[in-house]
Amino acid sequence: MKVSTMKTRIRPFVPAALAAAVLAACGGSDGDSAPVNAKPAYLGAISAVTYDGTSNDLLTAGLGASGLAAPVAPAYADPLNPTAAELRRTAIHTNYRAMLDMTAAGGYGTLYGPNVNAQGQVTAGDGKVAGTEYIAFADDGTGRKNVTLMVQVPASFDPKKPCMITATASGSRGVYGGISTGEWGLKKGCAVAYSDKGTGGAPHDLQNDTVPLIDGTRATAAAAGANAAFNAGLTPTELAAFNAATPNRFAFKHAHSGQNAEKDWGTTTLQAVEFGYYVLNQRYGETNAAGQRLKSLTPANTIVIASSISNGGGSAIAAAEQDTQGLISGVAVSEPAIEMPANPGVTVRRGSADIVVTGKPLIDFTTYANLYQSCASLAPSIGSTPYAAAFAAGFGSAALPIAPNRCASLKAAGLLSASTTATQAEEALQKLRDYGWEPESNDLHASLAAFEVAPAVAVTFANSLSRASVKDNLCGFSYAATAATGAVTPLAAAALPGMFATGNGVPPSGGINLVNNLGKFGPARDFLSFSDAGVADWNTAGALCLRNLVTGTDAAARKLQAGVDETRRNGNLRGKPAIIVHGRADALLPVSHTSRPYAALNRKVEGAASKLSYVEVANAQHFDSFIGLPTVLPGYDSRYVPLHVYLNHALDAVYDHLASGKPLPASQVVRTVPRGGTPGSAPAITAANVPPIAATPVAANAIAVTAGSISVPD
């Protein structure tokens, strides 16, 4: 492994024949005719590390396919002081596994994985990828943004056939959060441009005033200064007062940066592409008479595909819409988070019925889920779905009736009308259906409620969109470690040093939980806290407060709503060829609030110039990694197929279209085949379970998209 900085090192000039080929590809004959390759002004110091592909590599951090399959990453030599290299290795291990089903029966090692090559063939190798990794902050000069950008250039990169993809972090993860998307590019010989988009897993420890650095190691806030990856920005007086009032708390960048990071997700993805071009031209660009590198690789001769999943996929969509320079050639994304316009003027139909509620922003439908999902999960009609029995036992027992109490509190608030827990739960479930969730999503509510997905996402996005400070304790929420009783406690000493690698940026994560500061008997873990009436009802008051930020008219609500308006998309992909794949059962980002209405909006805005295909995958949902937890979530394995397979297919299709003109597949439903069998021990997946995207779908599978309308077959 070789470490360097681009400020002090220029890579050796490429061989003359190769340089001539690059120049010819650019359509020029005089190297001095191209502009000088200038470093973008927003980039800080650039570090570069070269990996040999044996002891360490770009894709697996030296672990290989077999090492990524291991449930636990190699231990740190000193758990209290992990090195940057150790943190990187664990971050890649954690983030790769968080995105995918890592079981052999689920397709790892046969349908996808490092040992499966770019042609989809299973190899005997371990899939390590040699190359160089470049990392830098993008900032506005204040040190307050410090978005981490990364470019990986595999040793197989061919400047005669240059290509790049984006892999912006999914969720609220750090810069390695898109590594499973980046894998496609690395195997293809493409550079991969990553952005953490202003999020990340490592917090500001407010009690001890320590912060993460760009490489995941930690320092005091004073020592880090403007080099902190994130600092909550409190003055010494504010910090002292905060710690006195609410000790042992943590601030996270997505929630507490005060930047409304989502409004810039498209911008930072484009900056990652610009960083990629800068790196590639520093390596492969022609030189002028003064010895300066030139911009030989440009959008005119380089294929660039904006890609990623979930929030990262939404970032790719945003980047394509904002791409005034033509940096992006095409788009291929999976399950994207897309914030629709307030009044998009589109209709969504499934089968013979229009979907009444569609196109709501994430904070809207998530705060709605946060109100009703824990109650709905007790509905007898979904009692045999994954984790439903365990949910009822853990959250609905006579000893701890948290979910039944939520149902009762919703009834008391006038939000439910039924009289028994069972009928209230069925009513809550129907409310979710009526608000845009697919019937196929019913099977997922219990597991998502048990994992606190909706409250975690709602609190993070509410803070971010409101530009709230950690000291605001928006709706009474904070982040802290908690004891089994729910009481706030100091975090275990070994948890924080590695949180850059193990955290997902949206507590509960890494030993830090969501806390209700306003509990009757004192601050406590959110679902274990008590209402003013002394009832443990999963903090209904906090959920109502979050919901009011979306639907209310007070100053706090207007502040959040203004933040939402900054994140809305416009539907104009500028004629770029694009494929969106989305799982029909997705219960986190329902298709009728995201991909379906966006496809209709795009056709309305672009008309005949639209080159977007929408592919809806039956028997697929948001969390492929949950399929790989058969002992924890039996039934995911027998019901669902990995959506990741179809992201790879989409990338293949967009690349082939850009490289050779092969037509994109038409919009369609892909009828996958569940593995079936006994929940928890489903038979191994085969190619027959995941048929390819059809070039031309049969009529029963064709999705009709017209200007402002989409019709999806049942």
Secondary structure class of 435 (helix, strand, coil): coil
Report the alpha-carbon distance of residue 192 to residue 187 in Å, rounded: 10
Query: CA angle 549-366-486, nearest 5°?
Result: 85
Report the alpha-carbon distance of residue 515 to residue 206 in Å, rounded: 15
Under 8 Å between Cβ of 636 and 626: yes
List, in sequence order, every residue forming a beta bridge with 616; answer none if it has no partner: 582, 669
Residue 305 main-chain phi, psi, to 5 deg: -110, 120
Residue 699 Cα distances to 319, 353, 712, angstroms: 33, 18, 11
Count of beta carbons in the 10 Å neighbourhood of residue 575 = 12
Report DSSP letters for 269-310, one per residue: HHHHHHHHHHHHHHHH--B-TTS-BB--S-TTT-EEEEEEET
Closest CA to 445 of 633, 604, 686: 633
Report the alpha-carbon distance of residue 604 to residue 581 in Å, rounded: 20
Marked catalytic residue, from 170, 307, 308, 310: 310
Count of beta carbons in the 10 Å neighbourhood of residue 125 = 11
For residue 409, the surrounding DSSP H or E stretch is helix 402-412
Report which DSSP code applies to 226: G
Count of beta carbons in the 10 Å neighbourhood of residue 261 = 24
Q: CB pairs under 8 A, 24+ apart, for 12-19?
A: 13/287, 14/159, 14/283, 14/284, 18/159, 18/160, 18/284, 19/284, 19/286
Report the alpha-carbon distance of residue 366 to residue 594 in Å, rounded: 13
Report the alpha-carbon distance of residue 128 to residue 139 in Å, rounded: 32
Q: Which two structure tokens, joined as six digits, stand for 137? A: 């902050």
Count of beta carbons in the 10 Å neighbourhood of residue 522 = 13
Closest CA to 131 of 167, 156, 150: 156
In single-letter form, the type of residue at position 190 comes to: C
List, in sequence order, every residue forming a beta bridge with 43; answer none if it has no partner: 138
Q: Which two structure tokens, joined as six digits, stand for 164? A: 């790049």
Report the alpha-carbon distance of residue 91 to residue 44 in Å, rounded: 22
Report which DSSP code applies to 512: B
Residue whose entry in the numeric block shows the structure tokens 């409304």: 260
Residue 270 main-chain phi, psi, to 5 deg: -65, -35
List, in sequence order, every residue forming a beta bridge with 368; answer none if it has no partner: none
Report which DSSP code applies to 699: G
Q: How would you classify the pairing of strands 250-251 and 303-309? A: unpaired
Please indicate whether residue 529 is annotated as part of the active site.
Answer: no
Query: CA angle 267-646-65, nearest 5°?
Result: 90
Report the alpha-carbon distance of residue 161 to residue 183 in Å, rounded: 18
Query: CA angle 217-190-570, nearest 5°?
Result: 85
Under 8 Å between Cβ of 613 and 665: yes
Q: Which two structure tokens, joined as six digits, stand for 347? A: 């209709």
Those residues with Cβ within 8 angstroms of residue 152's Cβ, 6 or more apart along the chain or in another chain: 58, 131, 132, 133, 134, 182, 185, 186, 191, 192, 194
Residue 615 main-chain phi, psi, to 5 deg: -120, 115
Under 8 Å between Cβ of 112 and 644: yes
- Positions marked active-site: 310
